[in-house]
Structure 1
Amino acid sequence: MKKEKVIEIGVLLGIIILAVIVVVVAGNQRKNKTKTETENKTETETQMESDSESESETETALADKESLDADELVEENFRQAGITEYEKIDLEDYESQAGIDLSEYVSYRFYYDSDGLKIEGYFSAPKDLLDGQKTSCLIYNHGGNQDYGALENIETCFYAYQLHTICIASNYRGCGSSEGEDQFGGADVDDVVRILDLCEQFSYIDKDAINMMGISRGGMMTYEVLSKDERVHKAVVISGLSDCFMSYEERSDMQTIFDSLVGGSPEEMPEEYEKRSATYWADEINIPLLIIHATGDEKVSVAQADKLTEALEQAGKTYEYITFDGNSHGEIRPEDGEKIKAFLEGQEQEEDSEKNNVK
């Protein structure tokens, strides 16, 4: 009996010890779980606080940018894009000459780098488009050669006002106060491409809504950019040079200029003339075009525009072609201005077809 009692006591002690062990282990598990939950909660709270601070900083930065006035915003963007030389232009004289109110517009002359050359550029914009929101813009390519037709802020102001858009342009190398030599559609096309680069860096420009317009020689520059760069959304060409072979034959007064700037005659340098003639590579233009040309244009014949639109038609490209009676060159009639604005803003009339030749 005594032996059995000892065994019972031993069993009882074993059970008690086992129970104590279970309680201790369970307690430790609860303690570890609580510690882990506390640590996780602390990490989560810390991350949430960090995210909240980050959002607050972003909102503050945006608020600061939106609070900048138009001049400050433009100049800040110039600096961020690496443009260190710029000056604001007083619009009073042009305002009185043109008889329009430009009090709510800003205009700048600036200089930027292109292939190691200092190129002169112009910028004009309505102040209400510089409110911190992204908007479309227009890159304008002027006509002429060397200093003939050199750009001034008047052009960018005019288009900014008429089309209510941000307008940016440059004096290609060898023109105005830009460094280098005019190559009439050669490496100087890079000067326009660099404007595209700058537009993508400006905080107020929608990089998917960068449009382009060229007049006369500027039409040639526009076509060349379109053939090598797909960042342009839509393009307008007025009295555009599209076949240098034809221009050489049509304009005896331009032959010396062609020889000098291109480097020779069409017979001597056919590849260079073809490179500058969109009629030979219309299939490489992949965006909607609006082409406007006077039927009696004596500087760039309407035959060039006819030839180009035929090539565009054959290549299945999207374009609109408007011709009108007269011998003007580079003229934008009031109705053309309205058409250009609607075209760039995507407000074409439903009855207009994608490929439309309007006489």
Structure 2
Amino acid sequence: MTVQAKFKRVPDFHIRATLFEVTYEAQGLIVKGYLCIPQGTGPFPVLIYCRGGIKSVGMTRLAWVSKFVDQGCAVFAPFYRGNRGGQGREDFAGEDRFDVIDALPWIKDHPLLEADRIHLFGFSRGSLMALFTAMADPTICSVVVWGGVSDLALTYEERVDLRRMLKRVLGGTPLRKPEEYRIRSPIYDVQRLKCPVLIIHGTEDIQVGVEHSYILAEALRETNKCYTLRIYENQGHFFQPDVYKKAIDDMFTWMQKQEGRKHG
């Protein structure tokens, strides 16, 4: 490969896949993440899994990586800057969105990864990272947001427990720093999207209210973007196991149908 990234194998992860810890640069900072590649000759389609939370809260779920790689794709899951030996500090989809965007060159250069079959998956606050990455790269095939944040000012209103963190990271409240909240809210910039969007949300989600998905869908509709909205009754931020399995299977079926489709 010509694009620099370092790969360290993580032993004993999955019988049908190989897991690596990847070290790469984003905006000149050292950032880390996982790359999981199925057994076989490849090249494989890629799912970029943008985790939720911040710092150690909501860190990459290896159980999800395992589920995704079982679908026959390679999975890249960035930790985001400042985590697990990485440099810098997360700022909730401000500059740290480049921890995903700046990984795309080495992903596309990797001989076992298909450069023209890259999908994005964002869970919770990771939906911000996934959507902004899709906006930045028109070659992305599709983006899935699951229980995703779409308006950070709404998050401030509905999550009293997160207000202190948001004020610290963004420099104040939505009233004092409206632009900081706006630039991290993809509903204001969806006209830049070129790929289809799948929106998944549970009606009983108390961590990210389902209203986030409704307003994202409305923003996509108003800008004539291609999207699919799937609302799951009686499901919270994390779905019940049987519903989760079916939703994952349906998600990958949807993703495969989007390959090669672009919508301006």
1:116-167 C-alpha deviation (Å, 9 max, x unpaired): 2111110112112xx1x43311111000012212226544333212x22100
Partner residue in 1 for 2:218: 310
Partner residue in 2 for 1:123: 35
Q: Is the CA contact (8 Å cut-off) linking 1:298 and 1:327 kept in structure 2? A: no
1:173-214 C-alpha deviation (Å, 9 max, x unpaired): 123332111111111001101121111111222211111101
Once the two structures are superposed, the pairs formed by residues 122-161 of structure 1 within 5 Å of their partners are 122-128=34-40, 131=41, 133-151=42-60, 153-161=62-70
Distance 1:189 1:88 in 2: 25
Q: Is the CA contact (8 Å cut-off) linking 1:243 and 1:277 kept in structure 2? A: yes
Identity %: 27
Q: Stretches of 4+ moved more than 3 A in 1?
A: 152-155
Q: Give the number of the structure whose residues are more often helix, by fraction.
A: 1
* Corresponding position: 1:247 with 2:162: no
Q: Is the CA contact (8 Å cut-off) linking 2:124 and 2:148 kept in structure 1? A: yes
Distance 1:266 1:347, change over 3 A: closer
Partner residue in 1 for 2:120: 212
Q: Give the number of the structure whose residues are more often strand, by fraction.
A: 2
Once the two structures are superposed, the pairs formed by residues 21-32 of structure 1 within 5 Å of their partners are none
Distance 2:86 2:68 in 1: 22
Distance 1:347 1:201, change over 3 A: closer
Report the Cα offset of residue 327 of structure 1: 4.4
Q: Name which of 212, 231, 243 aligns with 2:139.
A: 231
Distance 2:49 2:190 in 1: 21
Distance 1:108 1:116 in 2: 21
* Corresponding position: 1:286 with 2:197: no
Q: Is the CA contact (8 Å cut-off) linking 1:147 and 1:174 kept in structure 2? A: no
Partner residue in 2 for 1:82: 4
Report the Cα offset of residue 326 of structure 1: 2.1
Partner residue in 2 for 1:186: 94
Amino acid at match of 1:343: W
Q: Is the CA contact (8 Å cut-off) linking 2:44 and 2:72 kept in structure 1? A: no
Report the Cα offset of residue 330 of structure 1: 4.1
Distance 1:347 1:82 in 2: 30
Q: Which runs of 5+ in 2 are unaligned?
A: 260-264
Distance 2:207 2:217 in 1: 19
Distance 1:283 1:347, change over 3 A: closer
Amino acid at match of 1:177: G
Amino acid at match of 1:266: P
* Corresponding position: 1:333 with 2:244: yes
Higher relative contact order structure (alpha carbons within 8 Å, sequence separation ≥ 6): 2
Amino acid at match of 1:145: I
Distance 1:263 1:233 in 2: 35
Partner residue in 2 for 1:111: 23
Q: Which runs of 5+ in 1 are unaligned?
A: 1-76, 93-101, 349-359
Q: Is the CA contact (8 Å cut-off) linking 2:43 and 2:112 kept in structure 1? A: yes
Partner residue in 1 for 2:262: none
Distance 1:228 1:325 in 2: 33
Distance 1:149 1:177 in 2: 17
Partner residue in 2 for 1:91: 12
Amino acid at match of 1:334: K
Find the structure with the greater CA-based Rg. 1
Distance 1:126 1:257 in 2: 38
1:77-126 C-alpha deviation (Å, 9 max, x unpaired): 5xx43224x3211225xxxxxxxxx3221111121111121111101121
Amino acid at match of 1:189: R
Distance 2:61 2:86 in 1: 12
User: RMSD of aligned C-alpha atoms?
Assistant: 2.1
Once the two structures are superposed, the pairs formed by residues 266-277 of structure 1 within 5 Å of their partners are 266-277=174-185
Distance 1:283 1:83, change over 3 A: closer
Distance 2:55 2:171 in 1: 15
Q: Tell me the SS of whatever aligns to 1:182.
A: coil
Partner residue in 1 for 2:77: 169
Amino acid at match of 2:147: S
Amino acid at match of 1:268: R
Amino acid at match of 1:81: V
Report the Cα offset of residue 223 of structure 1: 1.4
